[in-house]
Amino acid sequence: KFKIFFISIESNDIFWNLIFNFAKMALKELCFQSKLLLNVCRIITNRGNATSSSVSKSKQVFEKEDKFGAHNYHPIPVALCKGKGVHVWDVEGRQYFDFLSGYSAVNQGHCHPKIIDALKTQAEVLTLASRAFYTDVLGEYEEYVTRYFGYDKMLPMNTGVEGGETACKLARKWAYQSKGIPNNEARIVFAGGNFWGRTLAA
């Protein structure tokens, strides 16, 4: 028998509660299908309830960020310090499943050895080149992606914001230049609740 421990963190943020509840349901379904024993452990973390010395490191992290950082986010009160594969650890050494995975940006897992090796190899050759120049690898990458997905062309972007903003620009250009819509009358329809960034368009 295997025991799977699911650690959830209660939060006042509806988004985070949905994430953890979804992960818990997925684990329950997995365990039901595999006939595994699931032990659900709920750890309620609250800054005001930190009573033992074991949370002093986390408390220091919280307080320093609150004091010196601009408050543009409401993080879960867990101070992470490292990750490997699907797991992350806080400054007290507690281990967690990372169901958020950087909003899916880390779906390959933390510190994947092949990706780390590729990053190191490229950084030792050329750290950064803007699109103001050609590089010897971009065309090769574009060829691979277009052939793999069957596209004619592709435009690589590194964030959801850039991808979404570029899609808006392409839609407007198509509307005015190809569709013939009068200036300033084009409209773009978005899906409600479809998060892809924090710009005004998003």
Give yes or no for residue 129 having a pLDDT over 60: yes
What whole-number distance in Å separates Cα of residue 15 and Cα of residue 55? 25
**Between the ranges 22-26, 48-52, 112-116, where is the mean pLDDT highest?**
112-116
Give yes or no for residue 91 having a pLDDT over 70: yes
What whole-number distance in Å separates Cα of residue 106 and Cα of residue 110? 6
pLDDT in tens, 147-169: 999 999 999 998 888 988 999 99
With bands split at pLDDT 50, 70 and 90, how would you rate the model's confidence at 37?
A: very low
Its pTM stands at: 0.63
The residues, ordered by sequence, that sit 6+ positions from 127 with a Cβ below 8 Å of its Cβ are none
With bands split at pLDDT 50, 70 and 90, how would you rate the model's confidence at 49?
A: very low
What whole-number distance in Å separates Cα of residue 2 and Cα of residue 57? 32
* More confident: 102 or 50: 102
Angle at 62 between CA 59 and CA 68, to 5 degrees: 135
Residue 43 phi/psi, 5° resolution? -110, 115
- List strand residue ranges (DSSP E) for the chain, in order: 3-8, 37-42, 80-84, 87-90, 95-97
Give yes or no for residue 128 having a pLDDT over 60: yes
